[in-house]
Amino acid sequence: MTPEVEEKVIAYMTKETGFLPSENELGVLMDDLSSILGSLFIPTTPMPVRIEDFPPVPLDGIGAKGLSVLWRQILRNSTRLDSPQMSGHMDTAPHPFAVMTQTLVSALNQNMLFRELSPLASLVEEDLIDLFKTHLKLGPDWDGTWASGGSIANLTALFCAIGGYRGTIDRGNVHMFFPESGHASLKKAALILGVPVGQVHFVKCDDAGRIDVDELSAALKKAPRQAHNVVTSVLGTTIHGSIDRIEEIAKICSKYGAWHHVDAIYGGALMFSKTHDHFLAGLSSADSIVIGPQKWMYVPRVSAAVLVSGRKRFDENLGVVMPYSISGEVHRGVWGVQGSRPADAMVLWALLHAIGTKAVGEQIDRSIKLTRSFYEILSNSSILSPTHVPGLNLQVIRPNTTKRDTIEIQQRLKDDGSLWASVSQWRDEKLLRTVLLSPKLNEDSLNDFVVSLERAAS
């Protein structure tokens, strides 16, 4: 850029229009926002006591000073994932580096639809797909794309499983088999894709939510001979964090000619673990896999990756013609069910460069180790019982009391402000669920959690 052009650009960018803020207002707001973001990394209570009243959207704006007031109201009235006591869901407080990168990525507003609107981000997305393939030991003939969250990722993979855009498979011939513990997005996807309700089957699981492989085998054996069968197994179930026996399920799917889809939205992060990566055995025999960095890789939501075995199949089932921009380059928007998408991969890419995959793996291993300690402490309680031996970093808890129901216990935890656990229904029972995600947790935290739980249940 020549000095003359640079001068004109600066003049254009700083021109006050009445619609954009002035330089002075921007400077003040940036300082204020920096202070607010900094407070996110200071421990606090996990849930707001009550939601404050807020005014209706005005005809005339409240200006920059009013915006700062709104920011603080948002902070006071939001669930604080940054609190180590917020341990009820598979939702993480993003790493500070990811928060800062997300701010830049949002401001640049790159569009993954066309490569010219996301030149670096397109390369980064492709680079991370290759990284995932390497760490999951999938082999070179896999390909993939990104999607905005786990639900869209599962929808995309299951769409691919029944022929995708080729449209060659009659929905009346499709049978889908999900574990009874599977995420709600699986059933949603099946129905959105037009699979008849009677051909969406839920396979019995054990008490910790793992597919009963004998039940799966029997269900596939009963399917019509000419059926196009699609089986989903899970690497990190939503309630228990349990891991299906991927290798055995892969063999069963191979025997019956079924497409094997693996929902690894949560557990896919184990690819960076040096201690628990054995859980990934058998993944290379799957037909499709979905992974959600937004969960256990400490980046903001929503982001997910869809991986498919067979580049040709991936391209034929999920690829479309993009006539809107002819540039001689292949656009990332060619694949998947979405058109425009944000550059989610950039945030993970920057975080992994800053801290390394080793640090992510060590944090995953640490949280699993803490959860197993939590299980041991709970096992010695007369008021509470762990319902399962944790495979990952989720622990479901049954109160051993009829004095208070589970919802009341949760409310007492909220009022106390020391721990927040979710309530999940597993079969006919409402149970407390904890997810030990926060890097701020330690052994002392676990003892405090048990004290809080026992107090709330008493």
Please state the three-class secondary structure of 180-211 as a single string. CCCCHHHHHHHHHCCCCHHHEEEECECCCCCE
pLDDT at 8: 65
| Alpha helices, DSSP H, located in 15-166 | 23-39, 63-76, 96-108, 119-135, 150-161
Q: Give the per-residue pLDDT at 14.
A: 57
Predicted local confidence at residue 4, as pLDDT: 76
Q: Do domains 104-351 and 356-457 have the same CATH topology?
A: no
Q: Which residues, listed in sequence order, are joined to residue 290 by a DSSP beta bridge?
A: 263, 306
- CB neighbours of residue 164 within 10 Å: 25
Question: 104-351 maps to which CATH number?
Answer: 3.40.640.10
Cβ–Cβ contacts within 10 Å for residue 193, how many? 16
Q: 356-457 is classed in which CATH architecture? A: Alpha-Beta Complex (3.90)
Distance CA(192)–CA(442), nearest Å, equals 43
- The pLDDT score that the predictor gives to residue 12 is 58
Q: Tell me phi and psi for residue 370, to 5 degrees.
A: -65, -40
pLDDT of residue 327: 87
What is this structure's pTM?
0.94
Report, as ranges of residue numbers, the positions in the chain whose pLDDT lies below 50: none
Q: 6: buried, middle or exposed (CB in 10 Å: 19+, 13-18, 0-12)?
A: exposed
Number of Cβ within 10 Å of residue 379's Cβ equals 11
CA–CA distance, 149 with 253 (Å, rounded to integer):
26
What's the distance, CA 115 to chain centroid?
25
Residue ranges covered by each domain of the chain: 3-79, 104-351, 356-457
Rounded Cα distance between 367 and 266, Å, is 14
- pLDDT per residue as tens digits for the range 227-276: 999 999 999 999 999 999 999 999 999 999 999 999 999 999 999 999 99
Alpha helices in 257-394 (DSSP H): 293-296, 311-318, 344-379
